[in-house]
Amino acid sequence: MPTTFTKVAKTGDLQDGQKKLVRVGFEQIVIARVDGEFYAFEEFCAHAGGSLSGGTLQGHEIVCPLHGARYDIRSGKQRIGPASSDQLTYQVRVEGDDVLVGPANEVAGGGMAVAHE
């Protein structure tokens, strides 16, 4: 899990409504751009490990391609099942035209979502 901020992309790499799979160390993380803001979340769905980079981005929601779970990419909160937990999200910074991903965000209600190895 990232403990510092790592450059993963240029702002121009993504247009609004696009997403991209990146690697930070051993982590696979999806970055997405919505309304000019960048977001980052774990690649593997909290339900059964579906690849969210292959899912559909609808506004601020990512839809898992395997069983249709929907997560808000701003908070990681699950909007529609079948997952039993929220999705891990990461802090994002934009410095100049660089997009950097940092440590995971805390999950609402305390604790952290569990990262899949």
Smallest Cα–Cα separation from 37: which of 102, 99, 103? 99
Nearer to ligand FES, 50 or 76 (CB): 50
Binding piece for ligand FES, criterion CB under 6 A, among 2-10, 18-26, 28-36, 48-56: 48-56
| Residues ≥6 apart with Cβ < 8 Å to 55 | 45, 62, 63, 64, 65
Q: Give the span between the Cα atoms of 90 and 71, in whole angstroms.
A: 14
3-state SS assignment for residue 52: helix
Q: Which of 10, 37, 48, 103 binds ligand FES (CB under 6 A)?
A: 48
Contact string (CB under 6 A) for ligand FES, positions 5-34, x = contact: ------------------------------
End-to-end CA distance of the chain: 10
Q: Which of 8, 9, 42, 50 binds ligand FES (CB under 6 A)?
A: 50
* Alpha carbons within 13 A on the beta-carbon side of 20: 16
Q: Binding to ligand FES (CB under 6 A): which residues in 68-87?
A: 68-69, 82-83
Which residues form the interface with ligand FES (CB under 6 A)?
A: 45, 47-50, 64, 66-69, 82-83
